[in-house]
Amino acid sequence: MGTSVRVTPLCGVYNENPLSYLVSIDGFNFLVDCGWNDHFDPSHLQPLARVASTIDAVLLSHADTLHLGALPYAMKRLGLSSPHFGKGEGIVIAPHVAGHLLGGTIWKITKDGEDVIYAVDFNHRKERHLNGTVLGSFVRPAVLITDAYNALNNQPYRRQNDKEFGDILKKTLRAGGNVLLPVDTVGRVLELILMLELYWADENLNCPIYFLTYVASSTIDYVKSFLEWMSDTIAKSFEKTHCYACTCWYVTLLINKTELDNAPDGPKVVLASMASLEAGFSHDIFVEWANDVKNLVLFTERGQFATLARMLQADPPPKAVKVVVSKCVPLVGEELIAYEEEQNRIKKEALKASLMKEEELKTSHGADNDTSDPMVIDSGNNHVPPEVTGPRGGGYRDIFVDGFVPPSTSVAPIFPCYENTSEWDDFGETWTSDQTAMHGGSDIKGKLDEGAASLILDTKPSKVVSDERTVQVRCSLVYMNSEGRSDGRSIKNILSHVAPLKLVLVHGSAEATEHLKQHCLKHVCPHVYAPQIEETIDVTSDLCAYKVQLSEKLMSNVLFKKLGDYEIAWVDAVVGKTENDPLSLLPVSGAAPPHKSVLVGDLKLADIKQFLSSMGVQVEFAGGALRCGEYVTLRKVGDASQKGGGSGAQQIVIEGPLCEDYYKIRDYLYSQFYLL
């Protein structure tokens, strides 16, 4: 049998919940994506909790909440460690461009020559800041895991979409209204910023645009260092102008709500986090602006399931919605006293545990606990000199070294060593302003926004107070698709071209999943699976794989030709046995039998059209064929997705009279392929 492949969905099948799947390759367990939603509901992670300890490696496809939001929680609470050692011999992992988000990845996992491809949320279209996906370059993988999220949706052309986007912005601003675009802190917002910058420059608009997140300036600064991950257009522009991508000429970066409140009155466009409207600046701005009929909330992506954004998209205004408004207030009175007492108790217990640990260490080294050590400062002494106290006033256990002559009771003379007793939470170490100054971190410009830093360094005891309000929604709500995913028509075309041997569908509504499943059964491959949560499916290849040794005598007569990342050759051989190897390919006895010529390469009419045009041939599409010059026509016949166990070979047929153009175009085509 071939490489063993098993797929178990942990979240995100037959619905639009976060993505998380267990993929096992010959017993090596990959966790592919580890998503969560903006509700952060732990119930979604129960299937993951049951298998977290068995996971060997984690692969993440996109840097957003739906794909990696649960990873910190899983590492801290669910026992996810992913050692990735001692197993997985022979498995090769390769990332490829997905085209949806900056750094978005299609994963190709290869074992014994068989490919398992995980491709979700891909985008075939080239955008302003990203190139399109390379998924279409793969042909006949053993297993393809992809999503059905957009299977029922078709998108307008980009030029039409951009025009409608600009028109509705101008209409709202000229009427004196404000525009709110709920966005994530990084990701698709980069495309929106570039779109707005170009539109404002072309239309010579003067209404202000604000990008409001706690890390707005950090986001833009960091993006400038990722030119190699962005589109060819941006790279070429930088080479000519040395101007970084996402340089904001019209967009003003804000890091707190106060800056927006202090902005001049008048129409404005605000891109604010978060896209779901469940929390963040967008939530607060929506509550303030929703009651004004002149304002507009412009959604550029479908809201997460069961969020305020999704509810507003499904049922347009006017209507009333209930929202929860939360704010952080300082602790006062009895609450503050109780908090301080609890913190003191925790510190005393931590100090007691530290002292007990040190005493146990001294005992293990044979130290005499009854004899006082003049080199040790007793942290229990109430008169500890200030020069040996910690930044929070607690005594350090310090060592005085005078001539390196210790008493017989000490373990060894050592230099002062302060134990790091900082507090930790699920997201890392908690730092105070004193610690930041000690480590030279007082100047955080360029690393953290001032607003974000103030949140981190603010150690005042506080609590969150929430109240439910009813908001009358009278503003306009518009959804314009700018989520950067391939639509249903394109997904079907790409799957037909890739033509996997087996196809696994995940992440999409039940209707979209069943629709795409039935289409693929008819037009893509006969083995299409759509498993339920925690249902393990075996998609092991039906092919048998054997390892054979290529004998030196055979290889000495083989001529290889380079094709992309591979070298290919036609080999006539017989399987035999040698003294050292159980199976080997040996040269045939006598003359090799003749075989038909084989042209190896990727048959894309669009690429052929571009090549012939560059050679000076007049080419145009007509009726699904390429009309070349006046007499010659090129047609593509056969299909890589044909069923019945066929080889999936495709052909280019040249039609026309035997004239000079015919032979010239034929020679041009031959030059683009390898003849075996």
What pLDDT, in 10s, does the model give residues 262-278?
999 999 999 999 999 99
Q: How do 57-59 and 28-34 pair as beta strands? A: parallel
Confidence at residue 437, expressed as pLDDT on a 0 to 100 scale:
41
pLDDT at 435 over 50: no
Q: pLDDT over 70 for what percent of the chain?
A: 81
Q: Is 415 exposed, middle or buried (0-12, 13-18, 19+ CB in 10 A)?
A: exposed
Tokens 């033509």 found at = 499
**Cα–Cα distance, 481 to 326 (Å, whole number):** 30
pLDDT at 604 over 80: no
Is there a contact between 103 and 63 (Cβ–Cβ < 8 Å)? yes
**Cα–Cα distance, 180 to 269 (Å, whole number):** 6
For residue 565, give the DSSP letter: T
CATH 3.40.50.10890 domain range(s) in the chain: 158-330+463-479
Per the prediction, the chain carries an average pLDDT of 83
| Long-range CB contacts (within 8 A, 24+) of 261-266 | 263/208, 263/210, 264/208, 266/207, 266/208
Number of C-beta neighbours around residue 587 at 10 A: 18
pLDDT at 247 over 60: yes
Least confident of 168-172, 232-236, 468-472: 232-236
pLDDT bracket for residue 366 (50, 70, 90): low
**Cα–Cα distance, 97 to 230 (Å, whole number):** 10
Q: Give the count of alpha carbons within 13 A of 131, CB side only.
A: 17
Question: May I ask the CATH architecture of the domain 158-330+463-479?
Answer: 3-Layer(aba) Sandwich (3.40)
Q: What is the mean pLDDT of residues 143-152?
A: 96
> Tens of pLDDT along 443-487?
434 444 555 555 555 668 888 888 899 999 999 999 999 999 999
Q: Which residue has the higher pLDDT, 566 or 448?
A: 566
Taking Cα atoms as reference points, which of 167, 200, 165 lies closest to residue 181? 165
Least confident of 15-24, 177-186, 356-365, 464-473: 356-365
The structure tokens listed for 613 are 């045009």
User: Reduced to 3 states, what is the DSSP secondary structure of residue 150?
Assistant: coil
Least confident of 89-93, 357-361, 452-456, 649-653: 452-456
Cα dihedral 198, 201, 207, 208 in deg (nearest 10): 60
Tokens 């310090």 found at = 398
Q: How do 5-11 and 537-538 pair as beta strands? A: antiparallel
**Cα–Cα distance, 445 to 453 (Å, whole number):** 10
CA 579 to the chain's CA centroid? 50
Task: Say how many residues make up the chain.
Answer: 676
CATH 3.60.15.10 domain range(s) in the chain: 5-153+487-538
Confidence at residue 541, expressed as pLDDT on a 0 to 100 scale:
83
Runs of H (alpha helix) within 404-534: 433-438, 450-457, 488-498, 510-523
User: Which residues touch 312 (CB under 8 Å, ≥6 apart)?
Assistant: 277, 297, 299, 303, 321, 473, 477
pLDDT at 242 over 90: no
Confidence at residue 643, expressed as pLDDT on a 0 to 100 scale:
40
Tell whether the torsion through CA atoms of 79, 84, 89 and 91 is positive or negative: positive
Burial per residue of 379-397, b for 16 or more beta-carbon CB atoms within 10 angstroms, e otherwise: beeeebeeeeeeeeeebbb
Question: Which range scores top for mean pLDDT: 230-244, 328-342, 572-586?
Answer: 328-342
The structure tokens listed for 447 are 């690393």
Q: Which CATH class is domain 5-153+487-538?
A: alpha beta
Is there a contact between 47 and 29 (Cβ–Cβ < 8 Å)? no
pLDDT at 411 over 60: no
pLDDT at 663 over 70: yes
The structure tokens listed for 133 are 């996906």
Confidence at residue 594, expressed as pLDDT on a 0 to 100 scale:
80
User: Which residues touch 403 (CB under 8 Å, ≥6 apart)?
Assistant: none
| Long-range CB contacts (within 8 A, 24+) of 447-455 | 447/218, 448/215, 448/218, 449/214, 449/215, 449/216, 449/217, 449/218, 449/255, 450/255, 451/214, 451/255, 451/256, 452/214, 452/215, 452/218, 452/255, 455/214
Q: What is the mean pLDDT of residues 6-21?
A: 96
pLDDT at 442 over 60: no
pLDDT at 433 over 70: no
Q: Give the count of alpha carbons within 13 A of 69, CB side only.
A: 19
Is there a contact between 331 and 461 (Cβ–Cβ < 8 Å)? yes
Name the residue type at position 289. Answer: W
For residue 399, give the DSSP letter: B
User: Which residues touch 357 (CB under 8 Å, ≥6 apart)?
Assistant: none
Name the residue type at position 68. Answer: L
pLDDT bracket for residue 95 (50, 70, 90): very high
pLDDT at 641 over 50: no
Is there a contact between 606 and 612 (Cβ–Cβ < 8 Å)? no
Helix (H), strand (E) at residue 537: strand 537-538
The structure tokens listed for 614 are 């560059």
**Cα–Cα distance, 617 to 628 (Å, whole number):** 7
pLDDT bracket for residue 227 (50, 70, 90): confident
pLDDT bracket for residue 382 (50, 70, 90): very low
The structure tokens listed for 227 are 């030119």
Q: How do 566-568 and 573-576 pair as beta strands? A: unpaired
The structure tokens listed for 144 are 């393809």
Cα dihedral 189, 202, 165, 274 in deg (nearest 10): 20
Name the residue type at position 80. Answer: L
Cα dihedral 571, 577, 580, 581 in deg (nearest 10): 60
Name the residue type at position 420. Answer: N
**Cα–Cα distance, 624 to 274 (Å, whole number):** 45
